[in-house]
Amino acid sequence: MRRLVTMLTVAVAAIALVIPVGAVTKGGEPDAGEHPYVGLSVYFFDDGSGDYLVSHRCSGTLITATVYVTAGHCTSGMDKAMLWFEEDVQSDQGSNGYPDFSDLGDVYLSAWGAAGHTVTGTPYTFPDYNDNAFFLNDLGVVVLDESVEVAGLYDGGDGYAALPTDGQFDGLKVGRKTTFTSVGYGLQFSTGTNTPVGPTPSPISALKVRLKAHPWLYQIDVPGFVDGFAFLLSNNAATGGTCFGDSGGPNFIGNTATIAGITSFGLNGSCGGTGGVWRLDRQDALDWIGTLP
């Protein structure tokens, strides 16, 4: 079974490298309780030993008390997930179920969640997803084993994020007036660069805290590149943006609770320039989510 490599590179239209990403970069700000339905998820796979080995972490969004929407490259090949919905997972690490690796001798599922409270779930991956072209159908879901209730701020009090409708964002105009709210638990800063043989070493900041940013729409429907499956959003110190570890996190349209798309890919190892967001306003994707338990 292939484990997800965070800096995996693939060719897109033979003109760029895209890499799975996952965090809100410099220019972001504390979420301050605004999106309590956005969580941090850690994934495990069965290696045949009868236990589950840890693989990677991502972000994602509750749309009901038990359905958590994330990226397909987060769920692909995974058998179990653990999730946290605290805004600051970092400060309580070791007592909230997220292990302190300084004194953890292994990385098995049985060692996680031993202290404090977390919630577990089963990952599902969109049937059209393909690891070799993850950015085309980058959708996954975790169905939780128990309900998680949060206090809603935007959507009439039911406490969860909302799905878009089919084609809802077809008419969006490129430019600074079309803004999004990106939320996630990924890296805050990275100066590395990516090469065909892997990432170069770089100083990073990767606190496990929920941050938000407000990027604007840079590209949509570019033939031969993002076509109709993705947005490119600004990633810079002025607007903030996404980085490694933010994969699967939501990009809300404006300041609403409607998920326009899922954080999916970046074009370089420093998380600069633009960030790629897989569009969720597709009927086949919405229909598939509706079939899950």
Supply the pLDDT for residue 155.
Answer: 47
In this prediction, residues 135-160 reach a mean pLDDT of: 80
Token pair, residue 105, equals 């001798």
In sequence order, the 6+-apart residues with CB closer than 8 A to the CB of 39 are 59, 60, 61, 62, 68, 83, 84, 85, 148
Name the β-bridge partners of 111.
none
Name the β-bridge partners of 231.
220, 277
Supply the pLDDT for residue 89.
Answer: 92
- Residue-wise burial string across 191-210, b where 16 or more C-beta atoms lie within 10 A, e elsewhere: ebebeeeebeeeebebbbbb
What is the reported pTM? 0.86
Supply the pLDDT for residue 165.
Answer: 97
In this prediction, residues 150-157 reach a mean pLDDT of: 55
Domain ranges of the chain: 10-31+160-283, 38-144
Name the residue with higher pLDDT: 196 or 2. Answer: 196
Give CA–CA dist 118/3, Å, rounded: 23
Helix (H, G, I), strand (E, B) or coil at 104: coil
Are the C-beta atoms of residues 21 and 232 closer than 8 Å to each other? no
Say if residue 1's pLDDT is above 70. no
Q: Which CATH superfamily is domain 38-144 in?
A: Trypsin-like serine proteases (2.40.10.10)
Supply the pLDDT for residue 12.
Answer: 28
Of the listed ranges 47-56, 99-108, 219-228, 284-293, the least confidently predicted one is 99-108
Token pair, residue 164, equals 């878009």
Give CA–CA dist 39/55, Å, rounded: 17
Annotation: CATH topology of 10-31+160-283? Thrombin, subunit H (2.40.10)
Short-list 189, 132, 162, 186, CA closest to 280: 162
Supply the pLDDT for residue 227.
Answer: 87
Percent above pLDDT 90 for the chain: 52
Say if residue 22's pLDDT is above 50. no
Residue range 247-270, pLDDT digits in tens: 999 999 999 999 999 999 877 666
Supply the pLDDT for residue 2.
Answer: 20
Residue range 34-44, pLDDT digits in tens: 999 999 999 99
Say if residue 7's pLDDT is above 50. no
Say if residue 169's pLDDT is above 80. yes
Supply the pLDDT for residue 205.
Answer: 63
Q: Looking only at Cα atoms, what is the longest distance across the chain?
A: 53
Short-list 89, 17, 7, 19, CA closest to 56: 7
Could you give the dihedral angle defined by the CA atoms of residues 174, 179, 184 and 187, in that order, rounded to the nearest 10 degrees? 60
Q: Do the two domains 10-31+160-283 and 38-144 of this chain adopt the same fold?
A: yes
Q: What angle do CA 146, 150, 154 make, to 5 degrees?
A: 140
Give CA–CA dist 227/177, Å, rounded: 21
Percent above pLDDT 70 for the chain: 78
Residue range 57-112, pLDDT digits in tens: 999 999 999 999 999 999 999 999 999 999 999 988 878 888 876 655 556 887 78
Give CA–CA dist 181/212, Å, rounded: 6
